[in-house]
């Protein structure tokens, strides 16, 4: 492995040098400044790719765009909001692709998050969208409520959960997603005892191997396909078999559980899925349904746990905000006598503000990209984009840009108060993306995080500390720091 890694690093260095010669003035010819060595920095500097993008973004304060190279692929970091809108929404037909290389045999990657085939993605998204309506989430709320209470019991009864807070948060988000997908196991005393925890952890934890796959997919896409590499290959047999077993067992049940498996069964009963506008059809096979169920885990387990972690870290350093949030939570819990409902959670507006500000300062998805699918033009600067070039949306950099968020390093939930939130420029705040491929599970994720935080902060407060990270883990897309910790203090009996 060490030899292979050394050879690949050498190959990457050679490609970077070759690109610097071949593409010496590639972007400059389009009147766009350019930088080289992004992938090399990512492989050697022990920081997230989003931080590297931010460094480039900040170095060109007067530019609308900055040209870079992701391996041998020309890419452009977009700094102008009008150009961002064009990529994410206005010119969607030219930028619908995420540009993520996946193999057709990577069954779990065949989900609404990773799909690159426009017609396939469109029909699956149409069929899954109703899962996340307010009515559906209201029916599903009992699942998340039970999980949040079990999460607090886990904290109360486990010193390890207190000593390793991120693991505890990850246990909650993974277990609550599992319950939302498969329903609550009536034989389980605590929903936190989830068989999916290890799978979710391994599938998204940044490792040398996952970063290497990312590098190969960007720099050697033909090799990636030739080797038949899979993003989630090691989890296929386990997860697909679980979904098949549950589907088989539940098809004859009459009782509705209001979980995702209910939706899968409904879709399969309706038969072949068809897009009325295009005529495109797709069979809702068990494998396709399993991939969509897996989407819940890869989209929500790590990101929601990180969101909760960053909220709690910032609350630890902002006692005034923490006190105000405790007051809101206590008022709601006292009024409903701890029989919390969906509507009760929805009234916690200050908690929304705290979460929004945390996701501004620490967007768990720190950057996204879109592949240009046909020749087009970015409106500001009239920059020509050719097919297969990449547009980078540097979310972390945007959220720390003082043009849009004055004093950006300050944690200030009042930015998102009713009177201030309307002043935030569209496309400057993108914790869940924006446009046609905005995160499908945003409502579920927000509800999941709110319920978990509400119950935790009803029972516990936080020891005061200052959180000031130097850098984040070397992830190709996320902002995460799993070793950061906070200290909980029990609030007494209620």
Binding site members for heme: 439
Which token pair is 79?
A: 């700094």
Q: 121 to each of 42, 167, 245, 279, 339, how far by Cα in Å?
A: 30, 33, 26, 14, 39
Q: Rounded CA gap, 48 and 41, in Å?
A: 10
Q: Rounded CA gap, 51 and 246, in Å?
A: 41
16-25 contact pairs (CB < 8 A, 24+): 16/40, 16/69, 19/69, 19/71, 19/72, 23/69, 23/74
Q: Rounded CA gap, 69 and 119, in Å?
A: 29
- Residue pair 391/94 in contact (Cβ under 8 Å)? The answer is no
Which token pair is 75?
A: 């890419």
Question: For 340, left (φ over 0), alpha (ψ -120 to 50), or beta?
Answer: beta
**Which ranges of 25-164 would DSSP assign to H, the alpha helix?**
38-44, 49-59, 81-85, 118-128, 134-157, 159-163
Numbered residues of the known binding site: 439
Q: 55 to each of 87, 189, 445, how far by Cα in Å?
A: 22, 48, 29
The torsion defined by the Cα of 142, 145, 149 and 152, in degrees rounded to 10, comes to 150
**Angle subtended by helix axes 286-316 and 442-459, to nearest 10:** 40
């Amino acid at each position: 492995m060490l030899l292979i890694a050394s050879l690949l690093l050498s190959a990457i260095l050679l490609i970077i040098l070759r690109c610097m010669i071949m593409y010496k003035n590639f972007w400059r010819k389009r009147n766009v400044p350019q930088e080289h060595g992004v992938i090399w920095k990512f492989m050697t500097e022990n920081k997230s790719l989003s931080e590297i993008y931010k460094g480039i973004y900040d170095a060109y304060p007067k530019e609308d765009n900055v040209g870079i190279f992701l391996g041998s692929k020309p890419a452009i970091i977009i700094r102008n909001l009008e150009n961002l809108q064009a990529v994410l929404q206005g010119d969607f037909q030219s930028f619908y692709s995420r540009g993520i290389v996946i193999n057709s045999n990577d069954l779990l990657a065949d989900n609404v998050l990773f799909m690159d085939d426009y017609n396939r993605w469109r029909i699956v998204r149409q069929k899954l969208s109703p899962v996340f309506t307010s009515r559906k989430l209201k029916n599903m709320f009992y699942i998340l409520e039970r999980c949040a209470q079990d999460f607090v019991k886990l904290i109360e009864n486990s010193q390890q959960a207190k000593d390793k807070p991120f693991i505890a948060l990850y246990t909650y988000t993974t277990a609550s997603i599992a319950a939302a997908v498969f329903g609550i196991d009536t034989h389980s005393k605590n929903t936190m005892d989830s068989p999916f925890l290890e799978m979710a952890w391994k599938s998204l934890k940044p490792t040398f191997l996952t970063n290497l796959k990312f590098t190969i997919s960007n720099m050697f896409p033909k090799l990636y396909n030739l080797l038949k590499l899979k993003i989630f290959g090691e989890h296929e047999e386990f997860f697909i078999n679980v979904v098949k077993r549950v589907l088989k067992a539940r098809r004859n049940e009459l009782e509705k559980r209001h979980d995702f498996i209910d939706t899968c069964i409904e879709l399969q009963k309706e038969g072949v899925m068809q897009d009325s506008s295009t005529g495109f059809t797709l069979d809702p096979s068990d494998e396709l349904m399993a991939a969509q169920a897996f989407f819940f885990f890869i989209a929500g387990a790590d990101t929601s746990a990180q969101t909760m972690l960053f909220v709690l870290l910032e609350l630890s350093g902002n006692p005034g905000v923490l006190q105000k949030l405790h007051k809101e939570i206590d008022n709601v819990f006292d009024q409903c006598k701890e029989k919390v409902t969906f509507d009760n959670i929805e009234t916690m507006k200050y908690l929304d503000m705290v979460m929004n500000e945390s996701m501004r300062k620490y967007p768990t998805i720190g950057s996204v990209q879109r592949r240009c699918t046909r020749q087009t033009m970015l409106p500001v600067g009239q920059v020509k984009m050719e097919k297969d070039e990449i547009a980078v949306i540097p979310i972390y950099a945007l959220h720390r840009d003082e043009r849009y968020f004055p004093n950006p390093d300050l944690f200030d939930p009042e930015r998102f108060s009713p009177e201030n939130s309307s002043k935030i420029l569209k496309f400057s705040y993108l914790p869940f993306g924006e446009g046609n491929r905005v995160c499908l599970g945003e409502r579920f994720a927000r509800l999941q995080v709110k319920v978990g935080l509400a119950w935790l902060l009803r029972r516990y407060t936080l020891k005061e500390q200052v959180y000031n990270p130097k850098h984040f883990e070397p992830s190709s897309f996320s902002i995460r720091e799993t070793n950061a910790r906070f200290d909980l203090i029990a609030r007494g009996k209620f």
